[in-house]
Amino acid sequence: MSPTNGQLLEIFSSIQGEGLLIGWRQIFIRLARCNLSCSFCDTPVQPTENCRVETTPGAGSFFVLANPVSLEVLSTLVADWLERLPGSHHSISITGGEPLMQDRLLQEWLPVLRGLLPVHLETNGTLPEAFAPLAAHVDWVSMDIKLASQTGVPTPWLEHERFLSLAAERGCCVKAVVGADTPLEEVCQAAELVQRAAPCAPLILQPRTLDGRVPMAAAFLLRLQEQAARIHPRVRVIPQTHSFMGLL
Ligand code: SF4
């Protein structure tokens, strides 16, 4: 039997600051656990005793719920927020950590949550087997390509390609975090992968931010974009925007 209670880290309401749905207000449900350990990771992923929940959507203050959290508690909370702020929220963002680490849980949760709002999955794109049975319950997928120059570990190209082939059937975008030390060849390899597996998906180059700034030469970013766009003509450059606005 699938679990119905999940290890959550936080539930809050904010503006999506990255990717295809940038600018839309979402209810974020952050799940614990991750299968990777990227060197730039700033998200605590270990399961905790409690999950923090905004007292009201967008309040920035929190109360705690004991983990694991039941689907009934979660769906009641989401329904309450939608009633309080009618029309404000575009979708629910399932994020992490790596949400697909709790894939059996999501098999129970996603159909119910999707009855409240469309579902957006944010994933590192390395667990295609976990994603396959969930694909029909997801409206948009934001998949990362984990470039070795940034994560400090080899890029899982094969897993990314298998994942992206499945995600291509949904609304899908691919994001690659880039830095001043990202080789052109690496970005070109990412563009080749997207062009092959999901030719309609945008590839978003996301420059790393440091203290609210992008510490990279604009000319270098343009060079990365030009080279990638020769291979895959849907390349965009978008930094994380929520930190500029002081949002969660
Ligand atoms: S995949 Fe995401 S959550 Fe996991 S270690 Fe990398 S940056 Fe952190």
Quick one: average pLDDT of 231-246?
A: 88
Residue 78 pLDDT greater than 70, yes or no:
yes
Position 76 scores a pLDDT of 97
Position 205 scores a pLDDT of 97
Extents of the domains making up the chain: 5-237
Question: Would you tell me which CATH number, out of the four given (3.40.50.1260, 3.90.1300.10, 3.30.930.10, 3.20.20.70), belongs to the domain 5-237?
Answer: 3.20.20.70
Residue 215 pLDDT greater than 90, yes or no:
no
Please state the atom number of ligand 1 nearest to the C-alpha of residue 40: 7
Position 1 scores a pLDDT of 52
Tell me, in angstroms, the distance from the centre of ligand 1 to residue 83's CA. Answer: 33
Say if ligand 1 is within 6 A of residue 99 CB: no
- 191 touches 232 (CB < 8 A): yes
Say if ligand 1 is within 6 A of residue 97 CB: yes
**pLDDT tens readout for residues 103-125:** 999 999 999 999 999 999 999 99
Residue 21 pLDDT greater than 90, yes or no:
yes
Tell me, in angstroms, the distance from the centre of ligand 1 to residue 114's CA. Answer: 25
Position 4 scores a pLDDT of 78
Say if ligand 1 is within 6 A of residue 18 CB: no
Percentage of the chain lying above the pLDDT 70 cut: 99
Name the region of 233 (left: φ>0; alpha: ψ -120 to 50; beta: rest).
alpha
Say if ligand 1 is within 6 A of residue 124 CB: yes
**pLDDT tens readout for residues 166-207:** 999 888 999 999 999 999 999 999 999 999 999 999 999 999
Please state the atom number of ligand 1 nearest to the C-alpha of residue 37: 5
Mean pLDDT taken over the chain? 94
Short-list 238, 241, 100, 95, CA closest to 175: 238
Return the residue whose CA atom lies nearest to atom 8 of ligand 1.
41
Please state the atom number of ligand 1 nearest to the C-alpha of residue 151: 6
Return the residue whose CA atom lies nearest to atom 6 of ligand 1.
38
Tell me, in angstroms, the distance from the centre of ligand 1 to residue 41's CA. Answer: 5
Q: Which positions ≥6 away from 213 have C-beta within 8 Å?
A: none
Q: How confident is the model at residue 3 (pLDDT cuts 50, 70, 90)?
A: confident
CA distance 248 to 227: 33
Task: Measure Cα distances from 180 to 19, 220, 232 in Å.
Answer: 20, 8, 21
Position 44 scores a pLDDT of 86
Amino acid at residue number 27? I
Say if ligand 1 is within 6 A of residue 46 CB: no
Choice among 52-56, 119-123, 210-214 with the minimum mean pLDDT: 210-214
**pLDDT tens readout for residues 94-104:** 999 999 999 99
Position 183 scores a pLDDT of 97
**pLDDT tens readout for residues 120-153:** 999 999 999 999 999 999 999 999 999 999 999 9
